[in-house]
Structure 1
């Protein structure tokens, strides 16, 4: 194992044969092509700026033309950066649970929701986030697929590319039921838990979410918005406190 250690297992994301390694390699190699494309777009922006300046009699013409070109170049740079940045979790450069946890607290904290991170039933499955609030309970896990994997629902079934998605999501659905049983038994409050899968990389339908087979997959921001948008109040402040205390006590940190 040249350059490595026989005692430390290598992370596949950084191995030379991994999809992540090839993705970053091709991205770097394509830098010059992106720069050439950006220059062409900026030139088109300059021409458009000249046309608008003449049409609306804007002076000085050169200033508006250059500003239009710079704006187009900046927008193109941002889009390229954004596209690459959305793969950060898949590439192992960022932690999905840290991103989602921060978004959940920022979006839901002031609305009476409690967010517990990294919880598990002893000897059973674990989850990244447990959300308890006026609208009910949710468990959220974080996943990431390659950028070209299409995540969609057809005929009520979930698909990841050409493969069925049942095996990918069933463990989280089963965990939601197990968590609900435990909290109901320990608190005497009848609860159900809705499973959500926060998708950090992969191609979702327009709108950033898809629901099938009893689970919703959504971008982290969309997941937080869906919880916040629930109109019904099913738990009061006292019940939320009891459930949160019980979850903190009975569910061990993963």
Structure 2
């Protein structure tokens, strides 16, 4: 990342604010995008003082870039959509691109990338000898990836970031006469498949790391409609919570004998950056 005065007008990839030419902003060479200075400091400003970085070098380039694969996919889809518009409208293609809204499937990748980036910034701000973080890790033998992996003395956390609207809730069906079934609802829509996805990722990490280290799954909803009091819950062993709550839980994971540095190197070697 580099702070610079923009030669050309741009748009903050986090908040969508217009950045005229000449504005001082943050340029990210990895994603070839810009961030306004307000968003650049938002993540660290929102972290409580006791969670500020300790100053050691636990966050490095090898940790990966949060949301990088989702950002690349968004840019690829956006370029493809624009190419089709230019082919369709010929010499009016530039105007068609300027006046057309992005397709929802394309926009969804941008929204997802922003969610991963924001959560990644908060996790990076917590980096210390007792907390190592890896971002956007490719699952071996698959095109899928794990958004974030956090290593603490208490175990390894496999974290899936989602930027959905609506309130996450746990709905329980069945009981005495029927099998008990738990469903994850977001805005009253059934998203139980997200829990299935996290459990599969937990199994993948466990298969490669072994049973000696506890593996915990988490679904972190960024910008969801969480209540002022309570809200976090667990379903089928997966924690469902928001970034600030996740940060607090991770900071409390001090009980355990996991060698954070050693496990980080082992996990990083098995799960390469996506």
Match of 1:101, SS state, is helix
Alignment length (residue pairs): 170
Deviations 1:160-182 (A, max 9, x none): 23333321221111111111220
Deviation at 1:7, TM superposition (A): 7.6
1:202 lines up with 2:218 in the alignment: no
Deviation at 1:208, TM superposition (A): 5.0
Match of 1:104, SS state, is helix
Deviation at 1:251, TM superposition (A): 1.2
Normalization by structure 2: what TM-score?
A: 0.53
Task: Check conservation: 1:204, 1:210, Cα contact below 8 A.
Answer: no
Separation of aligned partners in 2, 1:119 and 1:163: 28
Who is 1:115 aligned against? Answer: 133
Structure with more helix by fraction: 1
Match of 2:111, SS state, is coil
Match of 1:116, SS state, is strand
Who is 2:260 aligned against? Answer: 240
Deviation at 1:123, TM superposition (A): 2.0
Q: Say what the alpha-carbon RMSD is for the aligned residues.
A: 3.2
Who is 1:75 aligned against? Answer: none
Task: Please show how residues 76-155 of structure 1 align to structure 2 within 5 Å.
Answer: 92=111, 95-107=114-126, 109-124=127-142, 125-146=144-165, 149-155=166-172
Task: Please show how residues 181-192 of structure 1 align to structure 2 within 5 Å.
Answer: 181-184=207-210, 190-192=212-214
Deviations 1:200-227 (A, max 9, x none): 1322343352322321222112111111
Distance 1:166 1:94, change over 3 A: closer
